[in-house]
Structure 1
Amino acid sequence: DKITLVHDGTEKLIVKNAQGDVTYSSENKYIASVTEDGTVTGGVKGETTIRAKSGDEVAECTVEVKTLVNYLPDPYLGFGDDVNKVETEIAKNGKVEKTTNNLGQLIEVDGEKFVYLYIFENGKMTGCGFTFRTTEKSLKNTVDYLLERYVVVSKTGAYSYAFMSADKTTAVLLSPSENNETINVVFVPYKDEQSRTALLSRFF
């Protein structure tokens, strides 16, 4: 069986002909979680398996979590890729500006301007991100975009979040500038905290 959900959407699984009590488990609780009564809740974008066990019988159900906010271009997350590869990939979204150790791109979405930035060290991509002028609409859409794709690790302010990908390969930080005029979203490899902090200090 397969069910499709969105972030925070729910569906109850019904196990027919169960031999006694049924216990449920999720292969990846970040993508979809399940309660003792079989209610599945969508987490972040992806696909996972829910298992229902009753006696010696095990039934499986595939859960796909889809996104609703799809018009913001996903940044290219090829950490470690060289400049040429990254430039080729991001050029699909529009014109690329080159500076020393950086690639930049201005993308307009629904009348809002988003500046994408890709940072390189020794010719390899170490991080990327985007920034935009703070408006109620752009902020809400970006927070929703991130909540649908990344797991919240911490929330330190009204619009300050730390996220991680469900497979723990990418760390994401959302934070306003000091004067709250712009919002910055930064993507770096999810390694130790020290290397994340060092990379983040190079952005914006």
Structure 2
Amino acid sequence: MPATDRTIGIDLGLTHFAVLSDGEKIGSPRFLRRAEKKLKKTHKELSRKQKGSRNRAKARLKVARAHAEVADARREFHHQLSTKLISENQGIAVEDLSVAGLARTRLAKSVHDAGRSQFVAMLEYKAERYGRTLVKIGRFEPTSQTCHACGTVDGPKPLDVREWTCAACGTVHDRDINAALNVKTAAGLAASACGAPVRPGAIPAQREEAGSHGFPTGNRAA
């Protein structure tokens, strides 16, 4: 892919699959939730079949196909979006969230539906293949609490607060775009000119624990 001087920060969410630091918001297709009615029907049909019967084997195959359709649709969405981002940007920054921790919360279904680990994995191997830079920032970086304009940490916000005003400088923030800008800043991405290598700055080591302090970032409500 041709070199570019563009860099982008990505805030991965649930209501929106991703919000970019340039202001673009990418909707979450919610493949699993849209297919729930069909999946419930196939599972119900399976439960009614006699164990060991030929009809039960057919019903089990039908269930497997229904789940495969969901997985295939999600994978194709991830492929298309990751390719677009890699082709347009020399440097990409994402937040290193604890998917395993989030999967133990009430948001588990939405977390699995979004398939963020699979998406980030695609970004990683495509960045390596095409000579791009991918930086994952620590999951405890307060991206949703920090004013990207002046750097003031304004404290945690409830999930229903989607817009807030910095008490220090008065800048009005879209919660998710502000978080994406902070992801990009925390990653230290910079490019001097088109074709120049993008070099991430030093990123402080983050302590590890289950869950995600920064989870409210970017429409992460189910």
TM-score (norm 2): 0.22
Structure having greater relative contact order (Cα 8 Å, sep ≥ 6):
2
Identify, as 1 or 2, the structure richer in helix: 2
> Which one has a larger percent strand, Structure 1 or Structure 2?
1
TM-score with structure 1 setting the length: 0.23
